[in-house]
Amino acid sequence: MQDSPIYNGYTDVKDLYSPALEGNLQGNPSTQPVKVYLPPNYESFPDNQYPVVYLLHQFTTDYNLYFNEYGIVEKLDRLISQKAIKPLILVTPNAKTVYGGSWYTNTYVSGNWEDYITSDVFQHITNNYHVLDQRESRGMAGFSSAGYGTMNIAMKYPSKLGSIATIGLGLVDMELFFMNDPWESWTIEAASINEFRPGDPWYTHAIYSKAESFAPDSTATPILGRLPYTPEGELIDSTWQEWMEHDPLTRIGIYKDSLIKLDTIQIYIGNQDDMHVPGHENLHQAMIDNGILHGYVTYSGGHDPGPVIEDILIYFSESLVSDVPTIRLLSEDSLKVGDTLVLKSDMNGSIYIVPDTDYQSIDSIIKYQVITTDVLADEEKEVYLSDIESGAYHVYTISNENMVSNIPEGFSIIPTTIENKKIPSCEIYPNPVNDRLNIETNNPGYSYLLVSSIKGQLILSQEIEGTSHQIDLSTFQKGVYFITIRSKDFVTTKKIIKL
């Protein structure tokens, strides 16, 4: 078989005004860009509705991260074209703040980022794109601080998500972080700074963002939040308890009923992510103890989502509900007239075979089809190619709900030359026919006799020998049929009318 062609999706960026971000004390803009990947043939089939994955970006980055650094468009195009995943819509909303990130929490200091995602962004996507607007078809994933945001949103809004995935989830088991170096020293260092300095190290800004997210205080200086250490290194217990309330490990028992409601949860952690592995092991055990079903995957690597991005896309394709059918070719893709094409669709509907070209609508597929036949979900369908010209063809499935397979299958009918094909002689009479049909050929050896409907459905197949034959068509319904005689040397097809 030939390699599958790569079909290209495209991206769309729109600025979204968010009431949830209005009036925040940090001065973060209430209008944010939202970037969307749309699958191949998205515009050609506007009736299709797709599952949607919200991929959140981590601290200090922005909505372009996965497009610019991880090649997410190329990965999606390739996986969808190869049918490794179902067509889907992927959304990356911007969530970068003055300090680099909000941890996707609600606070009057940086803004209500939970509400921004779950209300404003979700509604924006539903209003402007062809998505399946149901929790079973909505997923969310994030790395590091965005993994924290994913878990936070899933805990609080289980009615809005079906499946989630986290990679190197940030802030799991805060005691392991902030009671040990380097984060303990970094936090004490941050407490000794008397003014906000944009040029400070990233970890200082990360600590500031935690303070303003977990212990906001409009009277505090130089930032609008409280740190759990004094400049002298003494732990402030009351503030520490405020921070601990946001620890995913602390929250497991509180929000276990919410997490149990999710269809699937997948936790990824790199086996060399030394700072995060112990906390993840504790989280994994806490989820087991609380009866929360989940997948726990360790992969070769450090604190980096790159090695598992494709795995996560496959995970969502398998876990989210989709109404878009997929058609697969099971036979060879280079065939001759008289061969059988074997296909499988994952949904009930109809198969349409059309000449190989770009089809911009469902109507054009129906208009230019050369063979169509019904198909049942997950059952092999044999289509006998009895009356078809040589050339290249595409195969689409149109489901009973009028959804079209975005990615067709392709095959070719190769011409049979006079040198490798004996010129057949075949007489079929009477035609039209009521009951018995006589067949006279010039082939004295063994042949196959096949009868197929006008839709390509194989109705009768039997081996024959000799030059004279008779078949009984009395039980056949009225209509047009094709009679094919095929041997190793030649093939010939005749059209008959059954009265």
pLDDT tens figures, 85-96: 999 999 999 999
**Kind of pairing between the strands at 380-384 and 391-399:** unpaired
Interhelix angle 72-81/309-319, nearest 10 degrees? 50
386-422 burial, b for 16+ CB within 10 Å, e for fewer?
Answer: bbbeeeebbbbbbbeeebbbbbbbbbbbeeeeeeeee
Interhelix angle 202-214/237-244, nearest 10 degrees? 90
Q: Is there a cis peptide before residue 325, judged by omega within 30 degrees of 0?
A: no
Interhelix angle 183-191/202-214, nearest 10 degrees? 80
Distance, CA of 404 to CA of 347 (rounded, Å):
10
Does the pLDDT of residue 190 top 60, yes or no?
A: yes
Distance, CA of 9 to CA of 42 (rounded, Å):
8
Rounded mean pLDDT, 23-49: 96
- 3-state secondary structure (DSSP) of residue 462: strand
Rounded mean pLDDT, 287-316: 97
Enumerate long-range contacts of 439-444, CB under 8 Å, 24 or more apart. 439/468, 439/469, 439/470, 439/471, 439/483, 439/485, 440/467, 440/468, 440/469, 441/467, 441/469, 441/485, 442/467, 443/467, 443/485, 443/487, 443/489, 443/490
Q: What is the pLDDT of residue 420?
A: 45
Question: CB of 208 within 8 A of CB of 198?
Answer: no
Q: Is there a cis peptide before residue 19, judged by omega within 30 degrees of 0?
A: no
Q: 489 falls in which pLDDT band (50, 70, 90)?
A: low
Chain Cα centroid distance, residue 138: 10
Does the pLDDT of residue 123 top 80, yes or no?
A: yes
Question: Could you tell me the CA-to-CA distances from 396 to 366, 386, 424 in Å, in that order?
Answer: 10, 19, 34
Rounded mean pLDDT, 275-294: 96
Question: Could you tell me the CA-to-CA distances from 362 to 4, 10, 396, 404 in Å, in that order?
Answer: 22, 20, 10, 7
Q: What is the pLDDT of residue 418?
A: 44
Q: 424 falls in which pLDDT band (50, 70, 90)?
A: low
DSSP labels, 105-121 = -EETTTEEHHHIIIIII
Does the pLDDT of residue 495 top 80, yes or no?
A: yes
- 3-state secondary structure (DSSP) of residue 173: coil
Q: What is the pLDDT of residue 2?
A: 56
Does the pLDDT of residue 417 top 70, yes or no?
A: no
> Could you report the per-residue pLDDT of 192-234, keeping only the tens digit for each?
987 878 788 888 989 999 999 999 999 998 899 999 999 999 9
Does the pLDDT of residue 490 top 70, yes or no?
A: no
Unique residue bearing structure tokens 């059209």: 495
Distance, CA of 43 to CA of 8 (rounded, Å):
12
Q: What is the pLDDT of residue 467?
A: 83
The DSSP H or E segment spanning 286 is helix 277-289
Q: What is the pLDDT of residue 386?
A: 80
Question: CB of 378 within 8 A of CB of 344?
Answer: yes
> Could you report the per-residue pLDDT of 441-480, keeping only the tens digit for each?
877 776 778 888 876 777 888 888 888 888 898 888 888 8
Q: What is the pLDDT of residue 494?
A: 81
Q: What is the pLDDT of residue 480?
A: 83
**What are the structure tokens assigned to 339, written together?**
């061969």
Q: 493 falls in which pLDDT band (50, 70, 90)?
A: confident
> Could you report the per-residue pLDDT of 331-381, keeping only the tens digit for each?
999 999 889 999 999 999 999 999 987 777 899 999 889 999 999 999 999
Distance, CA of 306 to CA of 28 (rounded, Å):
29
Does the pLDDT of residue 135 top 70, yes or no?
A: yes
The fraction of the chain above a pLDDT of 70, given in percent, is 96
- List the domains of the chain with CATH numbers: 10-173+247-319 (3.40.50.1820), 327-413 (2.60.40.1930), 420-498 (2.60.40.3080)
| CA proximity to 318, closest of 75, 131, 159, 84 | 84
Distance, CA of 172 to CA of 158 (rounded, Å):
20
- 3-state secondary structure (DSSP) of residue 183: helix
470-488 burial, b for 16+ CB within 10 Å, e for fewer?
Answer: ebebeebeeeebbbbbbbe
| CA proximity to 269, closest of 305, 323, 223, 217 | 305
Q: What is the pLDDT of residue 446?
A: 66
Q: What is the pLDDT of residue 3?
A: 67
Q: 185 falls in which pLDDT band (50, 70, 90)?
A: very high
Identify the weakest region by mean pLDDT among 109-113, 241-245, 428-432, 485-489. 485-489
Question: Can you list the alpha helix ranges (DSSP code H) found in 161-247?
Answer: 174-178, 183-191, 202-214, 237-244
Nearby residues of 351 by Cβ (< 8 Å), 6 or more positions away: 327, 343, 345, 371, 372, 373, 374, 375, 381, 383, 395, 396, 397
Distance, CA of 85 to CA of 418 (rounded, Å):
44
What mean pLDDT, rounded, does the chain reach? 92
Q: To 5 degrees, how large is the angle CA 302–CA 312–CA 56?
A: 80
Does the pLDDT of residue 419 top 50, yes or no?
A: no
Chain Cα centroid distance, residue 449: 44
| CA proximity to 52, closest of 158, 160, 177 | 160
pTM metric for this prediction: 0.84
Task: Tell which wins on pLDDT, 492 or 305.
Answer: 305
- 3-state secondary structure (DSSP) of residue 272: coil
Does the pLDDT of residue 173 top 50, yes or no?
A: yes
Radius of gyration of the chain (CA): 31
**What are the structure tokens assigned to 148, written together?**
């924290």
Rounded mean pLDDT, 24-50: 96
Rounded mean pLDDT, 12-22: 98
Q: 293 falls in which pLDDT band (50, 70, 90)?
A: very high
Distance between first and last Cα of the chain:
42
Question: CB of 147 within 8 A of CB of 312?
Answer: no
The fraction of the chain above a pLDDT of 90, given in percent, is 71
